[in-house]
């Protein structure tokens, strides 16, 4: 029996220790958003996050995932998903959940990636050759995330300024 924490929920599964995590998630737990492509760690269709890092789960034994926070495409809430829609990235769509998971992980590590960063990091395969659209969508998501960050920093700075202005002055206070 193994206990897995996936998308914030705890699941218990009765499988062999060397069962690939992908099979457990798809077949035991019924979350089929993560796809099977090659089965040998080459294509990235099976990408999930383990502790925020993109991992190819067709070659990861379930026992290795115990104790970690796992996220599948069903549990991801990220700017890349909006960017994927905005840029109409998917064609057949088969590889795209893995592409999105890989892109979200890249932006976590490298918030403003260059084309070279994207090309070096996004090794997931796409038979429909959506690579150009993927690159555009990643830049778009990075810009959206940067704008949100700037807005939050400006709000925090304004709140700090306001609290400084309204704080009672200690001028003239007794020593
Ligand atoms: S199915 Fe896992 S890398 Fe291809
Ligand atoms: S969209 Fe068809 S394989 Fe990538």
The answer to the question of residue 7 being in a domain is: yes
Q: Is 48 helix (H, G, I), strand (E, B) or coil?
A: strand
Expressed in angstroms and rounded, the spacing between residue 70 Cα and the centre of ligand 1 is 17
Whether residue 44 has its Cβ less than 6 Å from ligand 1: yes
What average pLDDT does the structure give for the chain?
A: 95
The answer to the question of residue 140 being in a domain is: yes
- Split into its structural domains, the chain has a count of 2
pLDDT digit string, tens, across residues 85-115? 999 999 999 999 999 999 999 999 999 999 9
**Mean per-residue pLDDT, 140-165:** 94
Whether residue 129 has its Cβ less than 6 Å from ligand 2: no
pTM (2 decimals)? 0.91
Expressed in angstroms and rounded, the spacing between residue 43 Cα and the centre of ligand 2 is 11
The domain that holds 9 is classified in CATH as 3.10.20.30
Instruction: Give exposure, 121-136, as e/b (b: 16+ Cβ within 10 Å).
Output: bbebbbeeebbebbbb
Whether residue 91 has its Cβ less than 6 Å from ligand 2: yes
Q: Which percentage of the chain shows pLDDT scores above 90?
A: 91
**Mean per-residue pLDDT, 14-29:** 98
The answer to the question of residue 173 being in a domain is: no
Return d(Cα 153, Cα 67) in angstroms, integer: 34
Expressed in angstroms and rounded, the spacing between residue 111 Cα and the centre of ligand 1 is 25
Whether residue 20 has its Cβ less than 6 Å from ligand 1: no
Please say whether the beta carbons of 159 and 100 come within 8 A: no
The answer to the question of residue 175 being in a domain is: no
pLDDT band at 72 (very low <50, low <70, confident <90, very high): very high
Whether residue 105 has its Cβ less than 6 Å from ligand 2: no
- Is residue 175 predicted with pLDDT exceeding 60? no
Structure tokens at 9: 């929920």
**Mean per-residue pLDDT, 15-43:** 98
**Mean per-residue pLDDT, 70-77:** 98
- Is residue 167 predicted with pLDDT exceeding 80? no
Whether residue 97 has its Cβ less than 6 Å from ligand 2: no
Whether residue 46 has its Cβ less than 6 Å from ligand 1: yes
Residues 82 and 146 in one domain: yes
Domain end marker among 75, 105, 135: 75
Residue predicted with more confidence, 40 or 163: 40
Q: Whose CA is nearest to atom 3 of ligand 1?
A: 41
- Is residue 174 predicted with pLDDT exceeding 60? no
pLDDT at 170: 57
Domain enclosing residue 8, as ranges = 1-75
pLDDT at 163: 86
Nearest residue to 96 via CA among 38, 46, 146, 152: 46
Residues 53 and 105 in one domain: no
Residues 14 and 66 in one domain: yes
- Is residue 165 predicted with pLDDT exceeding 90? no
């Amino acid at each position: 029996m193994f206990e897995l924490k996936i998308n914030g929920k705890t699941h218990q599964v009765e499988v062999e220790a060397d069962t690939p995590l992908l099979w457990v998630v798809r077949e035991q737990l019924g979350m089929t958003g993560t796809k099977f492509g090659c089965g040998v760690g080459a294509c990235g269709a099976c990408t999930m996050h383990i502790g925020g890092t993109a991992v190819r789960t067709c070659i990861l034994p379930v026992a290795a995932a115990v104790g970690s926070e796992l996220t599948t495409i069903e549990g991801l809430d990220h700017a890349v998903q909006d960017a994927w829609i905005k840029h109409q990235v998917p064609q057949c769509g088969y590889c795209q959940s893995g592409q999105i998971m890989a892109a979200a992980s890249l932006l976590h590590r490298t918030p403003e990636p260059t084309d070279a960063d994207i090309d070096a990091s996004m090794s997931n395969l796409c038979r429909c050759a959506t690579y150009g659209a993927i690159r555009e969508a990643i830049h778009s998501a990075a810009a959206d995330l940067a704008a949100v960050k700037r807005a939050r920093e400006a709000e925090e700075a304004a709140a700090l300024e306001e609290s400084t202005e309204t704080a009672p002055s200690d001028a003239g206070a007794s020593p």
